[in-house]
Amino acid sequence: MNKKTDTNSAASTALSCSSERSLRNPCYCEENVWRLAYRKVHEQDINNHHNDGNNNNNNEEYHVVFISNEEKCCPMFQQLAAENEAKPCFWDYHVILICTMNNNKEGKMMPTVVLDMDSRAPFPCLLQDYLLSSFRKLEFIEEEYRHIYAPKFRVIKARDYLKYFYSDRMHMYNSKTNTWNAPPPTYNCIMNGLEMTKNCTEINTNDGKENDCKESDDSDDNNNGSNLDCYIDMSRGEKKSGVNNVQNSQVYGEVFTLEELENKFCG
């Protein structure tokens, strides 16, 4: 992956940041993880170049994971945004980075770890431990409501996310008051994927209707400046168009339930 010439780009500032945790900008987790993924993938490419492909980092595979549900209300413990550590933080969505590693000697997959800059959990943290501490088997939710607030996970290969994601951050801007809901990062917006995923739309396969993937109801100008909502969307079997002949699963990944995610990545 080539370095960006713009010194104030998300990529350049990710590489120059003093530590991985320092990449965090509160309330911009989708960008935090983009920069963390860029840093990790860039490190892989550098090591691969210097070691002719014979490096343990080549066994590492990174995935970006969006966490949400149909209600856009997902309770999570251990989050820094919650002032009371004993209570959950209710996110409309959250984003983390996970890493899996294949052991060449035994041919087995090593435990998957999570990198979450917004969590009080260890950094990194075993995925199994992270899921348990963050969601507590959903036992804190009354059984009749668990299916409503249970998390779902959209998993995308990190390199694909770096290539296709873009956001002008207008989902965080209140056009009525002309203020930001949270101070935006000082580096430039991530717009790399705009050309690849222009006019992101969502096709409802049940009724054949096509609807815009809107970032916000505040302004029609927001529709073409980001494909964030396409990642937050946790519906299955719905094709998102506007990806220039690239398969939908490559751009937007695959959706898992909590149990399915554990089965796939926790062994």
pLDDT digits (tens, 9 = 90+) for 5-25: 678 999 999 999 999 999 999
Q: What is the pLDDT of residue 81?
A: 95
One-letter identity of residue 198:
K
Q: Closest Cα partner for 96 from 74, 117, 122, 76?
A: 117
Picking from 226, 187, 172, the residue whose alpha carbon sits closest to that of residue 38 is: 187
Residue 55 has pLDDT above 60, yes or no: no
Q: Between 121 and 221, where is the model more confident?
A: 121
Coil vs helix vs strand at 200: coil
What residues pair up with 65 in beta bridges, in sequence order?
96, 155
Find, among 222, 172, 232, 225, the residue nearest to 202 by Cα: 232
What domains appear along the chain, each with residue ranges and CATH number? 10-48+57-168+253-266 (3.10.620.10)
CB 60 within 8 A of CB 43: no
The count of other CB atoms within 10 Å of the CB of residue 136 is 15
Q: Provide CB contacts within 8 A for 132, sequence distance 6+.
A: none
Is residue 147 flagged as an active site residue? Answer: no
200 noted as active-site residue: no
pLDDT tens-digit profile of 155-191? 999 999 999 999 999 999 999 999 999 999 999 999 9
How many percent of the chain have pLDDT more than 90? 66
Residue from 94, 171, 213, 229 carrying the catalytic annotation: 94
When pLDDT is cut at 50, 70 and 90, the band that residue 238 belongs to is: low
Q: Which of 138, 121, 119, 100 is nearest to 266 (CA)?
A: 100
Per-residue tokens: 117: 């800059």
What integer pLDDT is reported at residue 198 of this predicted model?
A: 58
Contacts of 189 (CB under 8 A, 6+ apart): 10, 166, 167, 168, 169
The per-residue pLDDT for 26 is: 96
Rounded to the nearest integer, the mean pLDDT of the chain is: 84
Beta strand spans in 105-227 (E): 108-115, 125-126, 152-157, 173-174, 179-180, 201-203, 210-212
Note the pLDDT of residue 3.
45
Residue 214: which pLDDT band, with cuts at 50, 70 and 90? very low
Q: What is the DSSP string of 28-80?
A: -HHHHHHHHHHHHHHHHHHHHHHTTT-SGGGGEEEEEEEEE-TTS-EEESSBT
Q: Of 63, 74, 99, 116, which is the active-site residue?
A: 116
Q: What is the pLDDT of residue 239?
A: 55
For residue 143, what pLDDT is reported? 92
Q: Using pLDDT thresholds of 50, 70 and 90, give the confidence band for residue 36.
A: very high
Q: How confident is the model at residue 249 (pLDDT cuts 50, 70, 90)?
A: confident
Asked if 29 is an active-site residue, the reply is: yes
Tokens for 236?
């299955």
- Give per-residue pLDDT as tens, 138-161: 999 999 999 999 999 999 999 999
Predicted TM-score (pTM) of this structure: 0.84
